[in-house]
Structure 1
Amino acid sequence: MAHESERGQYLDDKEEIRQLLAIYCFSLDNYDIDSLGETFTEDGVMDQGPGRGGPIQGRAAIVAGVKQRQARFERTCHQLGQSMISIKGDLGEGVTYVTAIHKDWNGHVATAYLRYHDSFKKVDGQWRILRRSSQAMLVQGFEEAQWNWVVRIKPEGI
Protein backbone atom coordinates (compact mmCIF):
# COMPACT_ATOMS: atom_id res chain seq x y z
CA MET A 1 0.00 0.00 0.00
CA ALA A 2 2.86 2.40 0.78
CA HIS A 3 4.23 1.83 -2.71
CA GLU A 4 0.89 2.85 -4.27
CA SER A 5 0.74 5.99 -2.15
CA GLU A 6 4.35 6.91 -3.13
CA ARG A 7 3.48 6.42 -6.80
CA GLY A 8 0.35 8.52 -6.37
CA GLN A 9 2.39 11.33 -4.78
CA TYR A 10 4.97 11.09 -7.58
CA LEU A 11 2.25 11.43 -10.23
CA ASP A 12 0.62 14.30 -8.30
CA ASP A 13 3.98 16.07 -8.11
CA LYS A 14 4.56 15.65 -11.86
CA GLU A 15 1.12 17.12 -12.58
CA GLU A 16 1.80 20.05 -10.25
CA ILE A 17 5.08 20.73 -12.09
CA ARG A 18 3.26 20.62 -15.45
CA GLN A 19 0.76 23.15 -14.05
CA LEU A 20 3.67 25.32 -12.89
CA LEU A 21 5.12 25.31 -16.41
CA ALA A 22 1.72 26.26 -17.85
CA ILE A 23 1.27 29.08 -15.31
CA TYR A 24 4.70 30.46 -16.27
CA CYS A 25 3.69 30.61 -19.97
CA PHE A 26 0.20 31.95 -19.25
CA SER A 27 1.64 34.72 -17.08
CA LEU A 28 4.32 35.56 -19.64
CA ASP A 29 1.84 35.75 -22.52
CA ASN A 30 -0.43 38.03 -20.47
CA TYR A 31 2.55 40.21 -19.45
CA ASP A 32 1.67 39.41 -15.83
CA ILE A 33 5.32 39.22 -14.90
CA ASP A 34 4.71 39.52 -11.15
CA SER A 35 2.70 36.27 -11.32
CA LEU A 36 5.46 34.75 -13.45
CA GLY A 37 7.88 35.62 -10.65
CA GLU A 38 5.85 33.51 -8.24
CA THR A 39 6.75 30.41 -10.27
CA PHE A 40 10.37 30.80 -9.06
CA THR A 41 11.92 30.24 -5.65
CA GLU A 42 13.10 33.42 -3.90
CA ASP A 43 16.70 32.54 -4.81
CA GLY A 44 15.83 31.15 -8.26
CA VAL A 45 18.07 31.54 -11.30
CA MET A 46 17.04 32.19 -14.91
CA ASP A 47 19.46 32.05 -17.84
CA GLN A 48 17.95 33.01 -21.20
CA GLY A 49 21.31 33.41 -22.92
CA PRO A 50 24.20 35.86 -23.12
CA GLY A 51 22.28 38.40 -25.20
CA ARG A 52 19.48 38.41 -22.64
CA GLY A 53 21.54 39.10 -19.53
CA GLY A 54 22.96 35.63 -18.88
CA PRO A 55 22.18 34.02 -15.52
CA ILE A 56 20.02 36.25 -13.30
CA GLN A 57 19.56 35.27 -9.65
CA GLY A 58 16.72 36.09 -7.29
CA ARG A 59 12.99 36.41 -7.90
CA ALA A 60 13.04 40.24 -7.90
CA ALA A 61 15.88 40.36 -10.45
CA ILE A 62 14.15 37.76 -12.65
CA VAL A 63 10.91 39.79 -12.61
CA ALA A 64 12.72 43.04 -13.41
CA GLY A 65 14.68 41.42 -16.26
CA VAL A 66 11.64 39.72 -17.81
CA LYS A 67 9.61 42.94 -17.59
CA GLN A 68 12.35 44.80 -19.44
CA ARG A 69 12.92 42.14 -22.13
CA GLN A 70 9.22 41.41 -22.75
CA ALA A 71 8.12 45.07 -22.95
CA ARG A 72 9.28 45.18 -26.57
CA PHE A 73 6.55 42.71 -27.58
CA GLU A 74 2.90 43.52 -28.22
CA ARG A 75 2.01 39.82 -28.13
CA THR A 76 3.64 36.50 -27.33
CA CYS A 77 2.52 32.88 -27.48
CA HIS A 78 4.52 30.26 -25.57
CA GLN A 79 3.30 26.78 -26.51
CA LEU A 80 4.56 23.87 -24.41
CA GLY A 81 5.38 20.53 -25.99
CA GLN A 82 6.67 17.31 -24.51
CA SER A 83 8.27 17.30 -21.06
CA MET A 84 10.60 14.85 -19.39
CA ILE A 85 10.30 15.30 -15.62
CA SER A 86 12.01 13.36 -12.83
CA ILE A 87 11.47 13.85 -9.11
CA LYS A 88 13.38 12.76 -6.01
CA GLY A 89 11.77 13.94 -2.81
CA ASP A 90 11.38 17.72 -2.84
CA LEU A 91 13.66 18.23 -5.87
CA GLY A 92 12.98 17.69 -9.54
CA GLU A 93 14.55 18.08 -12.98
CA GLY A 94 12.87 18.66 -16.29
CA VAL A 95 13.37 19.36 -19.97
CA THR A 96 10.38 20.87 -21.79
CA TYR A 97 10.07 21.79 -25.45
CA VAL A 98 8.66 25.25 -26.19
CA THR A 99 7.62 27.13 -29.30
CA ALA A 100 7.71 30.85 -28.51
CA ILE A 101 6.19 33.28 -31.02
CA HIS A 102 6.73 37.01 -30.50
CA LYS A 103 5.21 40.02 -32.25
CA ASP A 104 6.83 43.37 -31.52
CA TRP A 105 5.05 46.73 -31.52
CA ASN A 106 6.05 47.31 -35.18
CA GLY A 107 4.43 44.06 -36.33
CA HIS A 108 7.64 42.00 -36.76
CA VAL A 109 7.06 38.34 -35.86
CA ALA A 110 9.87 36.11 -34.62
CA THR A 111 9.83 32.53 -33.36
CA ALA A 112 12.14 30.60 -31.08
CA TYR A 113 12.08 26.83 -30.71
CA LEU A 114 13.45 26.17 -27.25
CA ARG A 115 14.08 23.68 -24.51
CA TYR A 116 13.58 24.78 -20.93
CA HIS A 117 16.10 22.94 -18.74
CA ASP A 118 14.67 23.27 -15.23
CA SER A 119 15.45 22.35 -11.68
CA PHE A 120 12.45 22.40 -9.36
CA LYS A 121 12.10 22.60 -5.60
CA LYS A 122 9.08 22.05 -3.39
CA VAL A 123 8.81 25.03 -1.02
CA ASP A 124 6.10 25.08 1.65
CA GLY A 125 4.24 22.36 -0.23
CA GLN A 126 4.38 24.17 -3.61
CA TRP A 127 6.63 23.36 -6.56
CA ARG A 128 8.74 26.27 -7.80
CA ILE A 129 11.42 26.72 -10.46
CA LEU A 130 14.82 26.75 -8.77
CA ARG A 131 16.84 27.16 -11.96
CA ARG A 132 15.87 27.62 -15.62
CA SER A 133 18.17 27.63 -18.63
CA SER A 134 16.47 28.34 -21.95
CA GLN A 135 18.31 26.65 -24.80
CA ALA A 136 17.54 27.37 -28.44
CA MET A 137 17.30 24.72 -31.13
CA LEU A 138 16.22 27.08 -33.93
CA VAL A 139 15.25 30.74 -34.15
CA GLN A 140 13.60 32.71 -36.92
CA GLY A 141 13.59 36.51 -36.91
CA PHE A 142 15.80 36.90 -33.81
CA GLU A 143 19.49 37.75 -33.62
CA GLU A 144 21.27 34.42 -33.27
CA ALA A 145 24.08 35.56 -30.95
CA GLN A 146 21.82 36.12 -27.96
CA TRP A 147 20.96 32.47 -27.19
CA ASN A 148 22.21 29.48 -25.25
CA TRP A 149 22.31 26.89 -28.02
CA VAL A 150 21.49 23.19 -27.77
CA VAL A 151 24.65 21.28 -28.65
CA ARG A 152 23.74 18.70 -31.24
CA ILE A 153 25.86 15.66 -32.03
CA LYS A 154 27.50 16.04 -35.43
CA PRO A 155 26.90 13.10 -37.78
CA GLU A 156 29.96 11.14 -38.87
CA GLY A 157 31.41 12.18 -42.19
CA ILE A 158 30.23 15.79 -42.08
Structure 2
Amino acid sequence: MTTIEARLDKIESRIEIEELVSKYAQSFDRHDRDMLRGLWFEDSVLNLGSNFGEPFKGIDNIMAAAETLWAKTPKMHHWMANSIVVIDGETARAETALDCFVIDSEDGPTQVGGLYTDHFERREGVWKIKLREFDLHYWAPVSGWSAAAGADAEPAKA
Protein backbone atom coordinates (compact mmCIF):
# COMPACT_ATOMS: atom_id res chain seq x y z
CA MET A 1 0.00 0.00 0.00
CA THR A 2 1.35 3.41 -0.94
CA THR A 3 0.97 6.57 1.09
CA ILE A 4 -1.85 8.99 0.53
CA GLU A 5 0.73 11.59 -0.55
CA ALA A 6 2.14 9.23 -3.19
CA ARG A 7 -1.34 8.37 -4.43
CA LEU A 8 -2.32 12.06 -4.57
CA ASP A 9 0.91 12.88 -6.43
CA LYS A 10 0.10 10.22 -9.02
CA ILE A 11 -3.43 11.60 -9.50
CA GLU A 12 -2.18 15.19 -9.82
CA SER A 13 0.57 14.06 -12.20
CA ARG A 14 -1.93 12.27 -14.41
CA ILE A 15 -4.09 15.39 -14.59
CA GLU A 16 -1.06 17.52 -15.53
CA ILE A 17 0.02 15.00 -18.18
CA GLU A 18 -3.45 14.81 -19.71
CA GLU A 19 -3.49 18.62 -19.78
CA LEU A 20 -0.20 18.63 -21.73
CA VAL A 21 -1.80 16.33 -24.31
CA SER A 22 -4.81 18.64 -24.59
CA LYS A 23 -2.69 21.79 -24.74
CA TYR A 24 -0.67 20.33 -27.60
CA ALA A 25 -3.88 19.86 -29.60
CA GLN A 26 -5.31 23.26 -28.65
CA SER A 27 -2.05 25.09 -29.35
CA PHE A 28 -1.87 23.66 -32.87
CA ASP A 29 -5.54 24.33 -33.56
CA ARG A 30 -5.31 27.93 -32.32
CA HIS A 31 -1.80 28.66 -33.62
CA ASP A 32 -0.97 29.53 -30.01
CA ARG A 33 2.80 29.80 -30.06
CA ASP A 34 3.17 30.62 -26.36
CA MET A 35 1.10 27.62 -25.27
CA LEU A 36 3.00 25.31 -27.62
CA ARG A 37 6.41 26.58 -26.48
CA GLY A 38 5.48 25.95 -22.84
CA LEU A 39 4.98 22.20 -23.35
CA TRP A 40 8.64 21.33 -23.95
CA PHE A 41 12.07 21.31 -22.32
CA GLU A 42 14.97 22.89 -24.21
CA ASP A 43 16.18 19.36 -25.14
CA SER A 44 12.77 17.90 -26.06
CA VAL A 45 12.13 16.09 -29.35
CA LEU A 46 9.06 16.03 -31.62
CA ASN A 47 9.11 13.12 -34.07
CA LEU A 48 6.09 13.20 -36.37
CA GLY A 49 7.44 10.38 -38.55
CA SER A 50 8.91 10.24 -42.03
CA ASN A 51 5.82 11.78 -43.64
CA PHE A 52 6.56 15.05 -41.84
CA GLY A 53 10.38 15.16 -41.89
CA GLU A 54 13.22 14.34 -39.54
CA PRO A 55 12.72 14.56 -35.76
CA PHE A 56 12.67 18.14 -34.52
CA LYS A 57 15.15 18.51 -31.65
CA GLY A 58 14.90 21.41 -29.24
CA ILE A 59 12.21 24.03 -28.74
CA ASP A 60 13.37 26.29 -31.55
CA ASN A 61 13.22 23.44 -34.09
CA ILE A 62 9.84 22.30 -32.73
CA MET A 63 8.50 25.83 -33.14
CA ALA A 64 9.93 26.06 -36.68
CA ALA A 65 8.19 22.76 -37.49
CA ALA A 66 4.92 24.19 -36.16
CA GLU A 67 5.25 27.21 -38.45
CA THR A 68 5.82 24.89 -41.42
CA LEU A 69 2.79 22.77 -40.47
CA TRP A 70 0.60 25.85 -40.03
CA ALA A 71 1.63 27.10 -43.48
CA LYS A 72 0.76 23.73 -45.04
CA THR A 73 -2.39 23.04 -42.99
CA PRO A 74 -3.67 26.39 -41.70
CA LYS A 75 -6.89 24.87 -40.32
CA MET A 76 -6.60 22.01 -37.81
CA HIS A 77 -9.12 20.44 -35.45
CA HIS A 78 -7.54 17.83 -33.15
CA TRP A 79 -9.41 15.27 -31.08
CA MET A 80 -7.15 13.42 -28.68
CA ALA A 81 -8.70 10.36 -27.05
CA ASN A 82 -8.24 7.09 -25.20
CA SER A 83 -5.05 8.08 -23.39
CA ILE A 84 -3.28 5.33 -21.51
CA VAL A 85 -0.90 6.94 -19.02
CA VAL A 86 1.74 5.11 -16.96
CA ILE A 87 3.56 7.16 -14.33
CA ASP A 88 6.82 6.03 -12.76
CA GLY A 89 8.11 8.61 -10.32
CA GLU A 90 9.53 11.56 -12.27
CA THR A 91 8.85 10.03 -15.69
CA ALA A 92 5.71 8.95 -17.48
CA ARG A 93 4.62 7.44 -20.78
CA ALA A 94 1.31 7.86 -22.58
CA GLU A 95 -0.32 6.62 -25.75
CA THR A 96 -3.11 8.78 -27.14
CA ALA A 97 -5.25 8.24 -30.23
CA LEU A 98 -5.58 11.10 -32.69
CA ASP A 99 -8.47 11.98 -34.95
CA CYS A 100 -7.75 15.25 -36.72
CA PHE A 101 -9.49 17.15 -39.48
CA VAL A 102 -7.33 19.58 -41.42
CA ILE A 103 -7.64 21.89 -44.39
CA ASP A 104 -4.40 21.18 -46.24
CA SER A 105 -2.99 23.65 -48.76
CA GLU A 106 -2.44 20.86 -51.32
CA ASP A 107 -4.97 18.12 -50.50
CA GLY A 108 -7.79 20.32 -49.18
CA PRO A 109 -10.10 18.89 -46.48
CA THR A 110 -8.35 15.84 -45.03
CA GLN A 111 -9.05 13.39 -42.23
CA VAL A 112 -5.97 12.29 -40.28
CA GLY A 113 -5.70 9.44 -37.80
CA GLY A 114 -2.85 8.05 -35.77
CA LEU A 115 -1.29 7.37 -32.40
CA TYR A 116 0.92 9.62 -30.29
CA THR A 117 3.42 8.04 -27.92
CA ASP A 118 4.70 10.50 -25.36
CA HIS A 119 7.50 10.41 -22.84
CA PHE A 120 7.17 12.98 -20.08
CA GLU A 121 9.53 14.12 -17.36
CA ARG A 122 9.02 16.15 -14.24
CA ARG A 123 11.86 18.57 -13.67
CA GLU A 124 11.89 20.97 -10.74
CA GLY A 125 8.27 19.99 -10.06
CA VAL A 126 7.00 20.68 -13.60
CA TRP A 127 5.82 18.04 -16.08
CA LYS A 128 6.65 18.60 -19.75
CA ILE A 129 6.95 16.55 -22.91
CA LYS A 130 10.44 15.09 -23.33
CA LEU A 131 9.68 13.10 -26.51
CA ARG A 132 6.55 12.98 -28.65
CA GLU A 133 6.34 10.45 -31.47
CA PHE A 134 3.54 10.10 -33.99
CA ASP A 135 2.50 6.99 -35.90
CA LEU A 136 0.37 8.07 -38.87
CA HIS A 137 -2.43 5.57 -39.50
CA TYR A 138 -4.06 7.44 -42.37
CA TRP A 139 -4.11 10.72 -44.30
CA ALA A 140 -7.40 10.70 -46.20
CA PRO A 141 -8.40 13.68 -48.36
CA VAL A 142 -12.17 14.20 -48.31
CA SER A 143 -13.63 15.25 -51.64
CA GLY A 144 -16.72 17.44 -51.82
CA TRP A 145 -16.48 18.65 -48.21
CA SER A 146 -17.39 22.21 -47.27
CA ALA A 147 -18.50 23.83 -44.03
CA ALA A 148 -22.17 24.87 -44.25
CA ALA A 149 -22.14 26.82 -40.97
CA GLY A 150 -19.78 27.90 -38.24
CA ALA A 151 -16.66 30.04 -37.95
CA ASP A 152 -14.91 28.26 -40.82
CA ALA A 153 -17.86 28.28 -43.22
CA GLU A 154 -17.54 30.19 -46.46
CA PRO A 155 -20.05 33.05 -46.84
CA ALA A 156 -23.03 32.24 -49.04
CA LYS A 157 -22.60 33.34 -52.63
CA ALA A 158 -25.28 35.54 -54.16
Compute the TM-score of the two structures, normalised by the length of structure 2.
Answer: 0.82
The answer for unaligned runs of 5 or more in structure 2 is 143-158
| Structure 1 length-normalised TM | 0.82
CA-to-partner distance for each residue in 1:63-112, whole Å, 9 max, x for gaps? Answer: 01111122222311010111011111111111001111101357811111
1:153 equivalent in structure 2: none
Q: Does residue 1:135 correspond to 2:135, yes or no?
A: yes
Whole-angstrom distance in 1 between the partners of 2:124 and 2:110: 38
Moved over 4 A (4+): none
Percentage of pairs with the same residue: 24
In structure 2, distance between residues paired with 1:106 and 1:68? 13
Note if 1:110 corresponds to 2:110.
yes
- The 2-side partners of 1:139 and 1:51 are apart by 10
Are residues 1:88 and 2:88 paired? yes
Q: For 1:107-140, what per-residue CA distance to the aligned partner results, in whole angstroms no more than 9, with x for missing partners?
A: 8111111111000011222210000111122221
Number of equivalences: 142
Q: Secondary structure at the match of 1:71?
A: helix
Note the alpha carbon deviations across 1:14-67, whole angstroms, 9 max, x for none: 011001111111111001134212211110011111131221110111101111
Q: How far apart are the structure 1 equivalents of 2:51 and 2:11? A: 37
Aligned to 1:125: 125
Instruction: Specify the code of the residue in structure 1 equivalent to 2:71.
Output: A
> Aligned with 1:54: secondary structure?
coil
CA contact (8 A) 1:34 1:63 kept: no
Shift, 1:2, TM fit: 5.9
CA distance in 1, matches of 2:72, 2:96: 25
1:78 aligns with 2:78: yes
**Aligned Cα root-mean-square deviation (Å):** 2.0
For the pair shown, the structure with the greater C-alpha radius of gyration is 2
**Contact (CA 8 Å) 2:96, 2:116: kept in 1 or not?**
yes
